[in-house]
């Protein structure tokens, strides 16, 4: 190889990375716009630079998006992604063992993979590890460690983790003193990000002992409608019970 070729090689590698990054982003957009076939085609070309493309391909096999549904192929994709160093593979493999997707169900193995992913600050792994520790799935229940995981996940931008922390403050779990004001602030933060369970719980808080026509009742209605439009059943039920004059068909 000539000196000129060697000098140009870093630029070539950089350009290839940029091209495959663009293709990876395009594939993610195609999945969101319900064009999984074209998304998979783009993802397969991204694998050399983005091993997490295998995770998304695995999800397509798992859900039957653009390809025949196959739990076994999904699991194989996740294993390949792990072998190539994809950070998202830890959460995917943990979920496979937790739910028995393409492999025999084993909560302890699921916990193992979530813990490995959490050590890399993978947001999904941190959140799921928190749930395992909170509920005693694949390990002994440890609310304090669960809270620590939720806090780390929240710092990574995990909105459901913010909701869980709010519940810890509300109930006084994980070694915390009950603090309704902190819980309320966290619920508002998660609700603002469109988290349906937070929107519903915040609405119920607003409706508690409030008179009809009050500002709190109007705010609660907006929150319940938003959560109901996401298909959140608790919001739909509460909306029908408290505001029977409203229906999703009417709001569509």
Mean pLDDT of the 178-194 span:
96
Say if CB 224 and CB 248 are below 8 A apart.
no
Give the integer Cα–Cα distance in Å for 236 and 252: 14
pLDDT digits (tens, 9 = 90+) for 153-163: 999 999 999 99
* Residue 8 in this model has a pLDDT that exceeds 50: no
Please give the pLDDT value at position 217. Answer: 87
Domains and CATH numbers, the chain: 1-86 (1.25.40), 93-179 (1.25.40.10), 194-252 (no CATH)
171 and 165 in contact (C-beta within 8 Å)?
A: no
Q: Which of 53-62, 126-135, 241-250 has the lowest mean pLDDT?
A: 241-250
Q: How far out from the chain centre does Cα 240 lie?
A: 28
The crossing angle, in degrees rounded to 10, of helices 233-242 and 196-207 is 30
Q: Are 79 and 93 in contact (CB under 8 A)?
A: yes
Question: Dihedral of CA 132/119/153/75: which sign?
Answer: negative
What integer is the mean pLDDT of 119-127?
Answer: 95
Taking only the tens place, the pLDDT of each residue in 30-44 is 777 788 888 888 888
Residue 45 has pLDDT above 50, yes or no: yes
CA pair distance 176, 144, nearest whole angstrom? 9
């Amino acid at each position: 190889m000539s000196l000129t070729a060697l000098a140009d090689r870093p630029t070539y590698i950089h350009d290839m990375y940029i091209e495959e990054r663009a293709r990876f982003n395009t594939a993610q957009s195609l999945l969101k716009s319900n064009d999984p076939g074209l998304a998979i085609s783009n993802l397969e070309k991204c694998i050399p630079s983005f091993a997490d493309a295998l995770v998304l391909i695995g999800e397509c096999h798992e859900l039957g998006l653009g390809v025949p549904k196959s739990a076994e192929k999904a699991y194989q994709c996740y294993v390949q992604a792990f072998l190539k160093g994809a950070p998202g593979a830890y959460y995917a493999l943990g979920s496979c063992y937790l739910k028995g997707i393409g492999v025999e169900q084993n909560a302890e193995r699921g916990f193992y993979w979530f813990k490995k992913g959490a050590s890399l600050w993978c947001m999904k792994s941190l959140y799921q590890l928190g749930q395992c520790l909170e509920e005693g799935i694949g390990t002994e229940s440890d609310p304090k460690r669960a809270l620590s995981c939720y806090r780390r996940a929240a710092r990574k931008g995990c909105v459901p983790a913010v909701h869980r922390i709010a519940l810890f403050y509300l109930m006084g779990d994980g070694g915390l003193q009950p603090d309704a004001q902190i819980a309320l602030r966290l619920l508002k933060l998660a609700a603002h990000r469109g988290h349906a369970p937070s929107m519903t719980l915040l609405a119920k808080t607003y409706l508690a002992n409030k008179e009809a026509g009050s500002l709190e009742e109007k705010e609660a209605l907006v929150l319940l409608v938003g959560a109901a439009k996401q298909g959140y059943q608790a919001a739909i039920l509460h909306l029908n019970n408290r505001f029977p004059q409203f229906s999703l068909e009417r709001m569509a």
